[in-house]
Amino acid sequence: MIFPDPTLPARVSICEVGPRDGLQNEKTSVPTDVKIAFIGRLVAAGLTRVEATSFVSPRWIPQLADADEVIAGLPMVVESEIRYPVLVPNLRGLDRALALGVREVAIFGSATETFARRNLNRTVAESIEMFEPVAAQATAAGVFVRAYLSMCFGDPWEGPVPLAQAVDVGRRLLDLGCDELCLGDTIGVGTPGHVSALIGEFEKAGVRAPDLAVHFHDTYGQALSNTLSALRAGVSVVDSSAGGLGGCPYADSATGNLATEDLVWMLDGLGIETGVDLESLVHTSVWMAEVLGRPSPSRVVNALAQRFARQQGDES
């Protein structure tokens, strides 16, 4: 049943991160043709913004060493409504992405010094300095630029992150000319009150909620409730990963992302439009779970997969 809430956005834009954030943490690399097929299935299910890969050095993330081949295998039509954002850490990565026709990129900063050094081998200030020419050149090329801000809520080495600290770094990333700032709960320690408080502090600093996106991990089972809190605060762009795939290779306590199926189930029940066909998406995640050789952690995937199997049995 559907019970709309007039205080929430009428439509939510889902940024599907499974092919990048989901697969980068796998112990073995998924074949390129499987990655391309995965992205195609996600698009067929109605997802129009699918983070395809990351143009980082294979030494950092060997699972995504085939970034060029993945992008070359996608229908990169500028006029298309389908968006294939990619991560780029530096100008070299940006040049590779632009040469392949990518129209949306993301840089990835950290709210904490420890994670900045572990993830980028730079201080926060040095990483922002590195991103400045990337954002400038991407903007000059007419490319949409997202800035990720990791460790917004807590850091496994530094502990809870002060609101003012996250806002300060996020504001500096936006000042580079980025179109969108995505607040990441990299280790999943955030709670709904913390989410609304952080968004409120950003608004006090002149950053509107519609210019923010959220990226929650479900380590403590708070990803859905945190998402609802962000929606109530005015955010309407939410990251999620098909089947709940993902984590962070530089933070051991970062478990899976919010499952796209769990998100869509909640949004469907609230009468919020997403454009996603949930049944098609579940079949995609079941297929990918078989490829990876383990069950999906998504409760919605498992519940609906069992229902579909029973229905198919009744029909045969």
**pLDDT tens readout for residues 203-220:** 999 999 999 999 999 999
- The pLDDT of residue 35 is above 60: yes
The 3-state DSSP class for residue 71 equals helix
Span 101-148, pLDDT tens digits: 999 999 999 999 999 999 889 999 999 999 999 999 999 999 999 999
| Per-residue DSSP letter, 23 | T
Over residues 162-205, the pLDDT tens digits come to: 999 999 999 999 999 999 999 999 999 999 999 999 999 999 99
With cut-offs at 50, 70 and 90, classify the pLDDT of residue 251: very low
Question: In whole angstroms, what separates CA 67 from the centre of its chain?
Answer: 17
* pLDDT given at position 246: 81
Indicate whether 58 pLDDT > 90.
no
Which pLDDT band, with edges at 50, 70 and 90, does 76 fall under? low
Give this prediction's pTM: 0.94
Model pLDDT, residue 133: 98
Residue 235 pLDDT grade (very low, low, confident, very high; cuts 50, 70, 90): very high
Mean pLDDT over the full length of the chain:
93
What are the beta bridge partners of residue 183? 149, 214
Average pLDDT over residues 17-25: 93
Residue 97 CA: distances (Å) to CA of 33, 72, 90, 93: 19, 10, 11, 6
Parallel, antiparallel or unpaired: strands 212-216 and 154-155 = unpaired
Burial of 227: CB neighbours in 10 Å, binned 0-12, 13-18, 19+: buried
Answer yes or no: is pLDDT of 295 > 60: yes
Query: Among 15, 152, 178, 248, which one carries the catalytic annotation?
Result: 248
Give me the pLDDT at residue 311, please: 82
Predicted local distance difference test score (pLDDT) of residue 78:
54
- Give the pLDDT mean for 264-280: 98
Which alpha helices (H) appear in the chain, and where do they start and end?
Answer: 32-44, 67-72, 91-99, 113-120, 124-140, 163-174, 192-204, 223-232, 260-269, 278-292, 299-315
Can 248 be counted among the known catalytic residues? yes
- What pLDDT is stored for residue 60 in this prediction? 85
Q: Which pLDDT band holds residue 25 (cuts at 50, 70, 90)?
A: confident
CA distance 37 to 58: 22
Domain map (residue ranges) of the chain: 13-315
Share of the chain above pLDDT 70, in %: 95
Cα dihedral across residues 200, 18, 243, 48: positive or negative: positive
- Say what the pLDDT of residue 124 is: 97
Does position 8 have pLDDT exceeding 50, yes or no? Answer: yes
Domain 13-315 has CATH 3.20.20.70: yes
**pLDDT at residue 250 greater than cutoff 70:** no
